[in-house]
Structure 1
Amino acid sequence: MNSISPNLNIMIKACEKASKVIIRDFGEIENLQVSKKGPRDFVTKTDKKVEKILIEELSKAKKNYSFITEESGIIKNTNEEACWIIDPIDGTINFMHGIPHFAISIALRINDELKSGLIFDPIKNEIFYAEKNSGAYFNNHRVRVSSKIDLEECLFSSNSYGVKFATPNLNMRNTGCAALDLAYVGSGRLDGFFHNKINIWDIAAGILIIDEAGGKVSDISAFKDEAIDLRASNSNIYKKMLEKIKNF
């Protein structure tokens, strides 16, 4: 196993604790599918519970760091330059339907630079992480983006709009979880990802993972933390992918 920083260690521990709630609640989803009320309210509660655990655990270790979270928005602490970026469950709709494809995403950004990123899939027990200038890892093994060159052999992911736009020019998937899509690009399972109007908490960890895995990610510095147009792929096909989706 590679040596990991104290910050990443904190992130892993927080995810492990929060994932117990997710796994337990996911087990309840089947019962809720048939109830009149349906699972939506239940899932909102799970999201909030998970976020609360993550914030508590990360704050114990770094009392003065700030937060950007999906559920609670911006939480300013004394150190505004150091910021945890959290999505407690990315892929909520999958979760709500009992589909085991969703993840916790946490990133640490200091002075506008992503330093650590972690994407944890609690059901498959798969963990993807990266630290600035230290490479990208999947379950403690170093990973790289794919080395494919021919677009016809590549597999891409996006949301439903992206899939509709790019089919049949590219082989497309819409998995419903942007964080895992990016983790999969970083580990070579997918070859590219593009999405318009996406939020920072969905992509922060994934951007760093792809970057550290030798891939190429579009510059998002012109965007605020919401409504980001993102493009990411292995470096060989990046320009070809952009050409295919230039009007998207």
Structure 2
Amino acid sequence: MPRYDQLKAIAQEAGSLFLKGYHAPKEVRYKSDIDLVTQYDVAVEELLKARLAEAFPDHTLVGEESSATITYPEKAIYIDPIDGTTNFVHGIPFCAISIGIWEDQQPVAGCVYNPVLEELFYAEKGKGATLNGEPIRVDAEADSLPRALIATGFPYTKIEQGGDYEWVLRTMRSMLPFTRDIRRLGSAALDLCYTAKGTFAGFYEINLKPWDVAAGILIVLEAGGAVSREDGEPYTLERRIIVATNGKIHDALVAKLGEAPAT
């Protein structure tokens, strides 16, 4: 059986390059009008793939910057070299390396590392979740939406002002008056991890990719939380909408999202 905890050392090695790039001038290219990529996204992913291929030769590597299509292999490692590239470019410290290992369509290990804030989140199936080696748990106090601080994100497809954009506006109208408040940090991987450590009581977002959530899902689950689709059914990486909570508000959050269904 592979030693999944190698993920931590691999992420930390790549984190040195990540941190160098965070403080350095950047060459910015555009995947779309607002979807940015820098030379460090590419360089960090290349380093991660080289190390992960050595450590996990039986797994298929699926990286944001190097995979032409999204695939769901039986043994997969989903890599986001810089989740939160817009934050990375603008000097906002909510950005991270995300590495999630899935086998037979289930998460088995995940690591999310923010070198800027020195936060290393890790989980292995059945072994709990940690932040910098210390156990973390979801928010035990928030048992209703008015007591819950919720995180969300805005999809790049918002520029089209189509269905995703309208769904974001509908859910804000449905959710905002009934929660403690809503935050948008700009990194889904960290939103999930902050849900796992109890900063947020819940998180939801539309139109994410597998590398955005593959690690964070397990970290939430191993911290005692719940993850599902927007209708409460089990989440799979092919789904467009994810909901993650402390468990106590899960049904209520799903119900609120149901008042603003996706089209």
TM-score range, shorter chain: 0.7 to 0.9
Q: 2:248 aligns with which of 236, 239, 243?
A: 236
Q: CA RMSD in A?
A: 2.2
Partner of residue 21, structure 2: 25
1:35 maps to which residue?
none
Contact (CA 8 Å) 1:169, 1:244: kept in 2 or not?
Answer: no
Per-residue deviation, 1:173: 0.6
CA distance in 2: counterparts of 1:113 and 1:167, whole angstroms = 32
More displaced 10-residue stretch of structure 1: 167-176 or 122-131: 167-176
Q: Which amino acid aligns with 1:55?
A: K
Counting aligned pairs with the same residue, the percent is 33
2 CA distance for matches of 1:63 and 1:239?
40
Q: TM-score, normalised by structure 2?
A: 0.81
Q: Deviations over 1:90-143 (max 9, x none)?
A: 000000111111000001111211100111011011111111111111111111
1:116 aligned to 109, 112, 115, which one?
A: 109
1:128 equivalent to 2:121? Answer yes
Q: In the aligned structure 1, how far is the partner of 2:38 from the partner of 2:206?
A: 24
Local SS of the residue matching 2:122: strand
Query: Which residues in structure 2 correspond to 1:100-179 (within 5 Å)?
Result: 100-147=93-140, 148-160=142-154, 161=168, 164-165=172-173, 166-170=175-179, 171-179=181-189
8 Å Cα contact 2:143-2:248 kept in structure 1: yes
Matching residue's letter, 1:243: A
SS at match of 2:24: helix
Separation (CA, whole Å) in 2 of partners of 1:48 and 1:177 = 18
Shift of 1:74: 6.5
**Whole-angstrom distance in 2 between the partners of 1:114 and 1:67:** 14
1:199-232 Cα deviation digits (max 9, x unpaired)? 11101111101111111100223x62xx521011
Q: What displacement does 1:19 show?
A: 0.9
- Say how many residue pairs are matched: 230
Q: How does 1:1-248 map to 2 (within 5 A)?
A: 6-8=3-5, 10-29=6-25, 39-40=28-29, 43-73=37-67, 80-147=73-140, 148-160=142-154, 161=168, 164-165=172-173, 166-170=175-179, 171-218=181-228, 219-221=234-236, 224=238, 228-246=240-258, 247-248=260-261
Aligned to 1:114, the other structure's residue is in SS state strand
Unaligned runs of 5+ in 2: 31-35, 155-167, 229-233
- What letter corresponds to residue 154 of structure 1 in structure 2? A
CA-to-partner distance for each residue in 1:132-191, whole Å, 9 max, x for gaps?
A: 111111111111111121322210011133773432332101110110000000111111
Q: Could you tell me whether the CA contact under 8 Å between 1:200 and 1:228 is conserved in 2?
A: no
- Please give the TM-score of this superposition, normalised by the length of structure 1: 0.86
Partners of 2:222 and 2:207 lie apart in 1 by 24
In structure 2, distance between residues paired with 1:40 and 1:157? 28
